[in-house]
């Protein structure tokens, strides 16, 4: 039993201390703590005309952070305020109400950390120490450990605690007597476990790119941070997603599709965003249909190319888990003639071609002085013509995406090399080119569309009217040069390229990537006309294996070139 005589109140007179001690002595004999030998200077009531400033860590909002390692603290609670107390002894984690003045220290603990602290008063105040988790306003519900078992004197209260969960904790130094404060000394140690670094893809700026093909991913978000969450539940997941998260980068082309089964011990949530700095407004697809250990299913087809971020998250605040994600990124292949370098040739005479620009990229557009009258920012494909001065071209281009068609002499400079262009009619009606060539050389017909990232199914019909009989016409030669096959395709070890030459000529056969960069030179020699073969073993010119993906075999005889696509897989 603890003795709490009424003279310990703030306005009580201290003249009756001896009588009170005698009274409490009887209780002490029965096993309760001894009452405090209160000195007048222990209360601020002896300074009625002076306003004393409380210490900076008077409350949890100003708590002093304790770092890892040993600590040796000293101070006084004399000017502090009694902010934290327990209503009844039975509701207290120390066993008593702890009505004294108190100060606070903050501990940012990781699961597995441990704390020991010895707290005592050098003048014999009866002190108490306790640990609150998360917040301080409600000590009864938030107290995880407390000690107040030592009689008054200089013997310390000892607190020993191992943190089972990661989070913020507050260590409170308090006293038993109502509104009483005084000096204290606390020694101890915060032993911190060695925390592994966060995953390498903890944030979007270090997101791991996903390669085309089968995906088998796994990891843990235990040591990740909560970098990405939503401000309101009105988002693509319907949940704030406040758990720890990791990020993967999807470098998507139009038509690519992602499917993923994501499972975590931390109540998995997965979503796709376009901008990690604003996940609330740029999240366009998300899944939060199951609970802990449930499987969230991502199924999405990308209509537009670009960089997107797949965030693997969880539900609860700072929650984490061990996770797996299996699935695949199916990469659609762009048209071979997506850029001028791989343009298909059109020979003399009537022609008709069809296709779709959905999987193409926007390689060509105008930033000023457009010969079409507009920017032409849609996806585009290319055909090439070798014309002589006096030849003429007529062509009608119809597309489902508000077509724009133009004729360039130099694809690297659309603005100043455009010789004809049209973008005049509504969607579904043909744009046309009628042009007579003033000089000999290569020209490129760009089949484009008006709007940003627009695409559509298209038809090109027309005729190249040739007046020249020059046998050296590169256009004519280009029609007879060919790559018959690449087999097997796709391949994982080696592929055989079969090709034909119309005449004896200096011949090159090179492997290039999607950006047109040479990866491997297979041939660079003079060959006789007829069929030939070459083998590519999946290595680059430095003898290193190339990354899985799409590559092109490019055959050239010095005047013309042709390409054929192949896919390398592991």
pLDDT of residue 11: 30
Six-digit token string for 57: 């860590």
Alpha carbon separation from 162 to 94, 111, 113, 116, 128 (Å, rounded): 17, 8, 6, 9, 19
> Count of CB atoms within 10 A of residue 341's CB?
16
Could you tell me which residue, 357 or 11, shows the higher pLDDT?
Answer: 357
Percentage with pLDDT > 70 across the chain = 88
Taking the chain, what is the end-to-end CA distance rounded to the nearest angstrom? 77
* CATH number of 480-568, picked from 3.30.465.10, 2.40.50.140, 2.60.40.4070, 3.40.630.10: 2.60.40.4070
Per DSSP bridges, beta strands 441-449 and 381-387 are antiparallel
pLDDT of residue 39 exceeding 50, the answer is no
Domains 60-191 and 480-568 share a fold: no
The β-bridge partners of 348 are none
Q: Measure the CA–CA gap between 434 and 436, rounded to whole angstroms.
A: 7
CATH 3.40.50.1370 at 336-472, yes or no: no
Q: Measure the CA–CA gap between 178 and 305, rounded to whole angstroms.
A: 69
- Top CATH class of 204-330 equals mainly beta
pLDDT of residue 71 exceeding 50, the answer is yes
pLDDT of residue 292 exceeding 60, the answer is yes
- Tell me the three state secondary structure of residue 26: helix
Q: Measure the CA–CA gap between 450 and 362, rounded to whole angstroms.
A: 11
- Closest CA relative to residue 121, chosen from 33, 184, 37, 43: 184
Asked if 268 and 317 count as a contact pair (C-beta separation under 8 A), the reply is no
pLDDT of residue 103 exceeding 80, the answer is yes
pLDDT of residue 153: 64
Render pLDDT for 321-345 as a digit per residue (tens, 0 to 9).
999 999 999 888 788 888 998 888 8
Question: What's the pLDDT band for 450 if we cut at 50, 70, 90?
Answer: very high
Q: Taking residues 505-514, what's their average pLDDT?
A: 88
Q: Where are the domains of the chain?
A: 6-46, 60-191, 204-330, 336-472, 480-568
pLDDT of residue 470 exceeding 50, the answer is no
Q: Measure the CA–CA gap between 39 and 193, rounded to whole angstroms.
A: 44
Render pLDDT for 226-273 as a digit per residue (tens, 0 to 9).
999 999 999 999 999 999 999 999 998 888 899 999 999 999 999 999
- Closest CA relative to residue 276, chosen from 310, 323, 301: 310
Asked if 483 and 412 count as a contact pair (C-beta separation under 8 A), the reply is no
Q: What is the pTM of this model?
A: 0.42
Name the strands in the sheet holding 457-465, side by side, starting at the edge strand that comes first in the sequence: 349-356, 457-465, 392-399, 431-436
Could you tell me which residue, 204 or 135, shows the higher pLDDT?
Answer: 204
Six-digit token string for 519: 């990866």
Place of tokens 């009619």: 425
The β-bridge partners of 395 are 433, 462
pLDDT of residue 295: 95
Residue-wise over 269-283: b if at least 16 C-beta within 10 A, else e? bbbbbeebeebeeeb
CA atoms within 13 A on the CB side of 510: 15
Render pLDDT for 178-221 as a digit per residue (tens, 0 to 9).
989 999 999 999 999 887 889 999 999 999 999 888 899 999 99
Place of tokens 């457009």: 370
Judging by beta carbons within 10 Å of its beta carbon (0-12, 13-18, 19+), is residue 74 exposed, middle or buried? exposed
Cβ neighbours of residue 41 closer than 8 Å, sequence gap 6 or more: none
pLDDT of residue 476: 39
pLDDT of residue 47 exceeding 70, the answer is no
* CATH number of 60-191, picked from 3.90.1150.10, 1.10.10.10, 3.40.50.300, 2.60.120.380: 2.60.120.380
Alpha carbon separation from 412 to 305, 513, 559 (Å, rounded): 22, 19, 20
Q: Taking residues 387-391, what's their average pLDDT?
A: 89
- Tell me the three state secondary structure of residue 494: coil
Name the strands in the sheet holding 246-252, side by side, starting at the edge strand that comes first in the sequence: 208-209, 246-252, 306-314, 268-273, 283-287
- State the DSSP code for 342: G
């Amino acid at each position: 039993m603890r003795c709490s005589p009424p003279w310990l109140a703030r306005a009580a007179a201290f003249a009756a201390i001896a009588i009170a001690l005698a009274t409490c002595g009887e209780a002490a004999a029965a096993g309760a703590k001894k009452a405090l030998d209160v000195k007048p200077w222990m209360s601020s009531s002896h300074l009625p005309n002076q306003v004393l400033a409380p210490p900076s860590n008077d409350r949890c909002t100003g708590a002093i952070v304790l770092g890892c390692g040993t600590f040796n603290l000293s101070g006084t609670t004399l000017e502090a305020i009694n902010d934290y107390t327990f209503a009844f002894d039975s509701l207290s984690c120390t066993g008593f109400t702890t009505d004294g003045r108190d100060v606070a220290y903050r501990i940012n603990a990781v699961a597995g950390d441990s704390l020991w602290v010895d707290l005592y008063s050098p003048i014999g105040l009866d002190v108490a120490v306790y640990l609150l988790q998360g917040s301080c306003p409600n000590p009864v519900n938030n107290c995880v450990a407390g000690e107040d078992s030592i009689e008054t004197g200089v013997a310390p209260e000892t607190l020993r605690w191992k943190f089972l969960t990661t989070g913020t904790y507050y260590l409170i130094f308090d006293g038993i007597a109502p509104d009483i404060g005084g000096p204290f000394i606390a020694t101890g140690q915060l032993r911190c476990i060695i925390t592994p670094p966060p995953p390498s893809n903890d944030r979007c700026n270090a997101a791991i790119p996903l390669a085309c093909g089968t995906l088998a991913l796994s990891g843990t978000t235990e040591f990740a941070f909560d970098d990405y969450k939503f401000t309101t539940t009105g988002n693509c997941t319907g949940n704030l997603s406040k758990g720890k998260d990791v990020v993967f980068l999807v470098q998507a082309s139009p038509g690519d599709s992602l499917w993923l089964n994501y499972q975590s011990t931390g109540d998995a949530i997965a979503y796709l965003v376009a901008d990690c700095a604003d996940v609330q407004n740029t999240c366009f697809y998300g899944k939060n249909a199951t609970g802990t250990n449930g499987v969230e299913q991502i199924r999405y087809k990308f209509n537009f190319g670009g960089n997107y971020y797949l965030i693997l998250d969880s539900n609860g605040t700072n929650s984490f888990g061990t996770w797996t994600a299996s699935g695949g990124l199916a990469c659609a292949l762009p048209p071979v003639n997506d850029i001028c370098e791989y343009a298909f040739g059109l020979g003399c005479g009537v022609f008709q071609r069809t296709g779709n620009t959905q999987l193409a990229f926007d390689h060509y557009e105008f930033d000023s002085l457009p010969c079409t009258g507009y920017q032409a920012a849609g996806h585009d494909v290319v055909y090439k013509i070798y014309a002589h001065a006096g030849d003429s071209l007529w062509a009608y281009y119809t597309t489902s995406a508000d077509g724009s068609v133009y004729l360039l002499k130099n694809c690297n400079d659309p603005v100043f090399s455009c010789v004809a262009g049209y973008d005049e009619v509504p969607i579904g009606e043909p744009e046309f080119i009628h042009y007579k060539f003033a000089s000999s050389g290569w020209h490129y017909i760009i089949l484009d569309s008006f709007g940003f990232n627009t695409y559509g199914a298209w038809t090109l019909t027309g005729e190249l009217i040739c007046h020249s009989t020059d046998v050296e016409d590169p256009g004519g030669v280009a029609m007879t040069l060919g790559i018959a096959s690449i087999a097997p395709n796709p391949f994982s070890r080696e592929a055989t390229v079969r090709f034909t030459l119309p005449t004896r000529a200096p011949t090159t056969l090179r492997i290039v990537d999607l950006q047109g960069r040479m990866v491997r030179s297979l041939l660079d020699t003079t060959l006789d006309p007829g069929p030939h073969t070459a083998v590519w073993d999946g290595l680059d010119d430095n003898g290193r294996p190339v990354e899985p993906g799409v590559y092109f075999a490019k055959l050239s005889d010095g005047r013309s070139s042709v390409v054929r696509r192949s896919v390398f897989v592991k």
